[in-house]
Amino acid sequence: MTRLFNEPSAFADEMIEGFAASHGRWVKRVSGGVVRNTKSTPDTVALVIGGGSGHYPAFAGLVGQGLAHGAAMGNLFASPSAQQVYNVAKAANNGAGVLLGYGNYAGDVLHFNQAQDRLRKEGIDCRSIAVTDDVSSAPLAERAKRRGIAGDLTVFKVAAAAAEAGHSMDRIMDIAERANDRTRSFGVAFTGCTLPGADHPLFSVPEGRMAVGMGIHGEPGIGETDIPTADELAELLVSKLLTEVPEGLETKGARVVPILNGLGSIKYEELFVVYRRVAQLLAGAGLEPVDPQVGELVTSFDMAGTSLTLFWLDDELETLWNAPADAPAFRRGAVAAEALDASDGSELADVELSIPDATEESRAGAVRVLAALGAAKAVVDANADELGRIDAIAGDGDHGIGMERGVRAAVDAARDAVARGAGAATTLHFAADAWADKAGGTSGALWGMALRAVGDAVGDTEAPDAGAVAAGVAGAAAAIMDFGKAKPGDKTLVDVLVPFRDALAAGVEAGKSLTDAWGAAATVAQQAAEDTAALLPLMGRARPHAEKSLGTADAGAVSMALIVRAVHNTLIEQTAIKEKA
């Protein structure tokens, strides 16, 4: 378990602060993560990597000469927000564009793509590579759906070396995609990991058993077996990976980089015992290991587990893999001495957003928005542990923590906006950006979209009425389904949002007040959330473990139903106050 922390919700921020303070030779902190604190060659492509915190050395430990130019760091097991990715990319840009590298997780894809779109609109050439090395997360025919685990390192390393060599963005993309196509990983776990402040692990493995095919966010494995000997484990890992030799290659005479990665609490000595047999098996298959890596490269707090990665080389990839690098957690060769000189220390400054003019009616509406967000915060705080428990059944268990971080940030932003005289739309927009930024992950992106859509509909000039609010909810549903591609029946929050939208619209069209229409729709939402227990997940991290979630409601659906009911309670209170007045 994680023993040393202060406030669990502050763990990631405090960790980043300490990392930057202790590794100033390599990195400096910027809003959203870290970038190199050394000089980079002007007019070369910058590689910005990232993902959730909790996986050190990934991702901040890979920032330095010959490796990444920056790392966007989300909260624990949650993707960085689009704002964080954008901030880091802007700070890391050398003038020739930015390549974004990340694992293929729904939240990362959403946020990095949003940041990419924003950078492109500013005229910055921005591309992305989503690593898909985990063979257990999807069949070979659906490789594009696979998640990225320890194979992140191989793709990031060769792409960074190509950027350091001054190659064009097109060439670097070709290299990164070829490296991804030639990287395969497979892992196991003996125990789950425990997040700071949690009193139980995200998942557990029965005593004497081993989970096969686990993910680095605590996703349950796809199967279980008795704990093998070290040699038997090596045989399992190697035999599985050799069933997926990249197309067009043969094992005999092939050169591969083997990476035996520890997930957090497996000792290095144990890994060496396993690698002894891995090396024998690779040689027996006719493979030639190149620069084996044995140790912790992508971890998961205190998870007891390991994974094996095979990176199938060609001449160019081998040259780039062996190129010099100097990062906190990965070093080889000697980089140019002048490159190690500290940069000028300049960072992007946070800019205080201005408050647009608003009418008195809209400012009064902003106060009601703040009350609704406060009610959302209260209900999320009260149910965070249960939301995490539900999410951990087939996902990574961070939904409660992520919702807490997001709604707390939204309330703080809304309170500041109201104090500065903002209207309803601006208050919702500030809250939306804060929720997405601080929560990260898929839910952070989606709730940010939802609040922004409602803000767009109500505006800053009129008192928010039932019609405008219903239009805003409809806009939220459209934006979320368009961006996340989920639809009713996929076992996501959309299964609550769509029937809630329809019931609210019907009530408003029938002439009901906002309070009454919302209350009826909230009842529909609650039933819809309960009904997700009978569904199998077709989206997100729970998809590979669909059968595990059967009989349990979706965490995102439950949290949405709780929030809309809590908001209804504030509407009742506000109606009562008006009637007394």
* Domains: count for the chain: 3
Q: Are residues 120 and 254 in the same domain?
A: no
Report the alpha-carbon distance of residue 153 to residue 70 in Å, rounded.
14
Q: Are residues 504 and 377 in the same domain?
A: yes
540: pLDDT strictly greater than 70: no
What is the extent of the structural domain holding 60? 1-131
Task: Give the pLDDT mean for 254-274.
Answer: 97
Looking at 280, 299, 324, which one is the last position of a domain? Answer: 324
Q: Are residues 563 and 438 in the same domain?
A: yes
- The CATH number assigned to the domain holding 9 equals 3.40.50.10440
Task: Give the pLDDT mean for 276-281.
Answer: 98
Looking at 96, 131, 166, which one is the last position of a domain? Answer: 131
What is the pLDDT at residue 543? 52
Q: Is residue 464 part of a domain?
A: yes
Closest to 156 measured CA to CA, from 223, 29, 60: 60
Task: Give the pLDDT mean for 517-543.
Answer: 86
> What proportion of the chain, given as a percentage, has pLDDT over 70?
94
Q: Is residue 139 part of a domain?
A: no
509: pLDDT strictly greater than 90: yes
Active site residue 217: yes
Q: Are residues 270 and 391 in the same domain?
A: no
What CA dihedral angle connects 429, 431, 434 and 438, to 10 degrees? -140
Q: Is residue 344 part of a domain?
A: no
484: pLDDT strictly greater than 90: no
Residue 344 banded pLDDT, cuts 50, 70, 90: low
471: pLDDT strictly greater than 70: yes
Q: Are residues 83 and 228 in the same domain?
A: no
194: pLDDT strictly greater than 80: yes
Ramachandran region, residue 433 (left: φ > 0; alpha: ψ -120 to 50; beta: rest): alpha
Task: Give the pLDDT mean for 332-336.
Answer: 83
Burial, 310: exposed, middle or buried (Cβ in 10 Å; 0-12, 13-18, 19+)? buried
In tens, the pLDDT along 132-150 reads 999 999 999 999 999 999 9
514: pLDDT strictly greater than 70: yes
Task: Give the pLDDT mean for 14-25.
Answer: 95
Q: Are residues 188 and 284 in the same domain?
A: yes
What is the pLDDT at residue 123? 97
Q: Are residues 413 and 506 in the same domain?
A: yes
394: pLDDT strictly greater than 60: yes
Higher pLDDT: 419 or 396? It is: 419
Q: Is residue 95 part of a domain?
A: yes
Q: Are residues 248 and 315 in the same domain?
A: yes
Residue 341 banded pLDDT, cuts 50, 70, 90: low
Tell me the pLDDT of the chain averaged across its residues: 91
Q: What are the angstrom distances between the C-alpha of 336 and each of 39, 65, 333, 341, 532?
A: 10, 9, 10, 10, 57
Q: Are residues 108 and 188 in the same domain?
A: no
Q: Are residues 373 and 506 in the same domain?
A: yes
Task: Give the pLDDT mean for 473-494.
Answer: 92
What is the pLDDT at residue 545? 52
Q: Is residue 191 part of a domain?
A: yes
What is the pLDDT at residue 220? 63
Asked if 186 and 142 count as a contact pair (C-beta separation under 8 A), the reply is no
347: pLDDT strictly greater than 60: no
3-class secondary-structure state, position 550? coil
What is the pLDDT at residue 432? 94
Q: Which of 2-6, 173-177, 227-231, 538-542 is the least confident region? A: 538-542
Q: Is residue 338 part of a domain?
A: no
What is the pLDDT at residue 99? 98
- The CATH number assigned to the domain holding 429 equals 1.25.40.340
Q: Is residue 353 part of a domain?
A: no
Q: Is residue 166 part of a domain?
A: no
Task: Give the pLDDT mean for 246-272.
Answer: 96
Looking at 131, 166, 194, which one is the last position of a domain? Answer: 131
> What proportion of the chain, given as a percentage, has pLDDT over 90?
75
- DSSP assignment of 239-271, as one string? HHHGGGPPTT--STT-EEEEEEEE-BSS-HHHH
Tell me the pTM.
0.81
Report the alpha-carbon distance of residue 389 to residue 202 in Å, rounded.
8
Q: Are residues 240 and 98 in the same domain?
A: no
Task: Give the pLDDT mean for 553-563.
Answer: 95
Report the alpha-carbon distance of residue 107 to residue 102 in Å, rounded.
10
Report the alpha-carbon distance of residue 546 to residue 318 in Å, rounded.
39
Q: Which of 65-74, 478-487, 526-535 is the least confident region? A: 478-487
Cis previous bond, 59, omega within 30: yes
In tens, the pLDDT along 92-115 reads 999 999 999 999 998 899 889 999
In tens, the pLDDT along 301-333 reads 999 999 999 999 999 999 999 999 999 999 998
Q: Read off φ and ψ for residue 486, nearest 5 degrees.
A: -80, 155
- The CATH number assigned to the domain holding 269 equals 3.30.1180.20
Q: Which of 60-69, 379-388, 497-506, 543-552 is the least confident region? A: 543-552
546: pLDDT strictly greater than 90: no
266: pLDDT strictly greater than 60: yes
345: pLDDT strictly greater than 60: no
Sign, CA torsion 126/127/129/130: positive
What is the pLDDT at residue 547? 65
Laid out side by side, the sheet with 98-103 consists of 27-30, 33-36, 70-76, 46-53, 98-103, 126-131
The count of C-alpha atoms lying within 13 angstroms of the C-alpha of 50, restricted to the half-sphere facing its C-beta, is: 40
Residue 5 banded pLDDT, cuts 50, 70, 90: confident
Q: Are residues 212 and 107 in the same domain?
A: no
By DSSP bridging, strand 293-295 and strand 304-312 are unpaired
Task: Give the pLDDT mean for 261-272.
Answer: 96
Catalytic residue among 111, 217, 399, 568: 217
Question: What H or E segment, with its residue span, contains residue 294?
Answer: strand 293-295
